[in-house]
Amino acid sequence: MTTVDLPLLPLGRGIDRASERGVECPGDLPPASDPDLVARALAAKEALGERLFVLGHHYQRDEVIQFADVTGDSFKLAREAAARPDAEYVVFCGVHFMAESADILTGPGQQVILPDLAAGCSMADMANLVKVNKCWEELKTVLDPDAQVTPVTYINSAADLKAFCGNHGGIVCTSSNAKAVLEWSFARREKVLFFPDQHLGRNTAHMRMGIPLDQMVTWDFMKPMGGLTAEQIRGAKMILWKGFCSVHQMFHVNHIAKFRERTPNGYVISHPENELAVCEKSDFVGSTEYILRTVRSSQPGAHWLVGTELNLVNRLADEMKPKGVTVEFMSPMVCMCSTMFRTDPQHLAWVLENLVEGKTVNRIRVPEEIAAPSRAALDLMLEVVD
């Protein structure tokens, strides 16, 4: 497949199925003002019964998460999608790359649906096949990447990048198995090219594996040769793509410093998509599932500062309050994942009612020539557990 290097499209407009960019939802949605949207969607869900399986990522809003048969982080949701061969329809309340992974991991008779096609991921958009192929070709001018470099893509990436990894002896990782995946990768080749999130790569390699920062370089995908010299590339163990999450970049060490001043006995927990300085100042670092598990296991009186998306943190704060545990959001700014937020009762009612009528809207289908190598890299991901 040819991938064209397009400028970013405004969310919800235009069509670019080869990436995480915004695309239009076809057809007529019910009016957002309909007060019965939740009831309509619940009735449609009930009518579909066992034929339907709904997955919900922890960043989804409350009105949506109530529909999920299973909630989880990216790793758990990918595993759950693969483990439900009897569900005819898998509705993914998450973002595009998650639904693509679910389509790749489910059987040919199953249909994966993303309620709003504009639910992409801005970090995933920071890498694409054109740029990664260009990087690989440029690396060939200084070393032999197929012998020396394992490509590792964070699951937050388009399916063709997972296929790139599958085709080049690489693997997919998630925030919950990144260390084990890096160990797997270094056992095969001396270097890793890690995309698109520099922070997950750097935090995992440095904080959990002790790889010195001077053995890591950042590949600036806007510059020839990533803005690096041949010597820098040859000397690096980790080549980190210069991508980041627009939500997690809002958390800063000064938020942690102020919390520590006010709450000397409090704990700080962060997602590994935060920058290294934030993770180093945190007491715990892990995936969304890990964050929930850790905070839920704390004793009454515990006070937490949490550096991840707002919907998760607000819900956790409400859950823990009656147990005497205080949960605070790390940033004074309202930072939500705006693309996760696109899934709403309006889109859910629309996709579910269409399914009841025998029509599938917003199906996510990865062409088999991309799905096959991508599946190889995703299957490896599911096997390699931290």
Binding site for ligand 13P (CB under 6 A): 58, 73-74, 156, 174-175, 245, 271, 273, 287-288
* Residue 121 contacts ligand SF4 per CB under 6 A: yes
Q: Which does 287 bind (CB under 5 to 8 A by kind): ligand 13P, ligand SF4, none?
A: ligand 13P
* 8 Å CB contact between 243 and 199: no
Window contacting ligand SF4 (CB under 6 A); options: 60-68, 133-141, 164-172, 244-252:
244-252
| Binding residue for ligand SF4, selected from 127, 245, 355, 364, defined by CB under 6 A | 245
- Residue 48 amino acid letter: L
Q: Which does 175 bind (CB under 5 to 8 A by kind): ligand 13P, ligand SF4, none?
A: ligand 13P
Interface positions, 34-73, toward ligand SF4 (CB under 6 A)? none
Q: Which helix (H) or strand (E) holds 261?
A: helix 253-262
Backbone CA torsion sign across 252, 77, 15, 89: negative
What whole-number distance in Å separates Cα of residue 81 and Cα of residue 91?
10
Q: In terms of Cα–Cα distance, which of 341, 272, 283 is closest to 312?
A: 341
Q: Which does 99 bind (CB under 5 to 8 A by kind): ligand 13P, ligand SF4, none?
A: none
What whole-number distance in Å separates Cα of residue 186 and Cα of residue 277?
25
Q: Which does 40 bind (CB under 5 to 8 A by kind): ligand SF4, ligand 13P, none?
A: none
What whole-number distance in Å separates Cα of residue 355 and Cα of residue 19?
25
User: Strands 52-57, 284-285: parallel, antiparallel or unpaired by DSSP?
Assistant: unpaired
3-class state of residue 66 by DSSP: coil
Residues contacting 91, CB < 8 A, separation 6+ = 52, 53, 54, 55, 67, 113, 115, 348, 351, 352
Window contacting ligand SF4 (CB under 6 A); options: 119-127, 130-138, 281-289, 355-363:
119-127
Query: How near is the Cβ of 98 to ligand SF4 at its closest, in Å?
Result: 8
Nearer to ligand 13P (CB atom), residue 58 or residue 162 = 58
Query: How near is the Cβ of 94 to ligand SF4 at its closest, in Å?
Result: 8
Q: Which does 339 bind (CB under 5 to 8 A by kind): ligand 13P, ligand SF4, none?
A: ligand SF4
Interface positions, 323-352, toward ligand SF4 (CB under 6 A)? 337, 339-340
In DSSP terms, which residues pair with 92 in a beta bridge?
55
Query: How near is the Cβ of 159 to ligand SF4 at its closest, in Å?
Result: 15
* Residue 128 contacts ligand SF4 per CB under 6 A: no
Query: How near is the Cβ of 39 to ligand 13P at its closest, in Å?
Result: 29
| Binding residue for ligand SF4, selected from 3, 167, 232, 246, defined by CB under 6 A | 246
Q: Which does 320 bind (CB under 5 to 8 A by kind): ligand 13P, ligand SF4, none?
A: none
* 8 Å CB contact between 168 and 135: no
Q: Which does 246 bind (CB under 5 to 8 A by kind): ligand SF4, ligand 13P, none?
A: ligand SF4
Query: How near is the Cβ of 73 to ligand 13P at its closest, in Å?
Result: 3
What whole-number distance in Å separates Cα of residue 380 and Cα of residue 166?
9
Q: Which does 122 bind (CB under 5 to 8 A by kind): ligand SF4, ligand 13P, none?
A: ligand SF4
Residues contacting 151, CB < 8 A, separation 6+ = 132, 136, 145, 164, 165, 168, 169, 170, 192, 193, 195
Residues contacting 54, CB < 8 A, separation 6+ = 45, 67, 68, 69, 70, 90, 91, 93
Using CB under 6 A, count the residues that bind ligand SF4: 13
* DSSP assignments along 265-278, one per residue: T-EEEE-TTS-HHH
Give the binding site for ligand SF4 (CB under 6 A): 95, 121-123, 156, 245-247, 273, 309, 337, 339-340
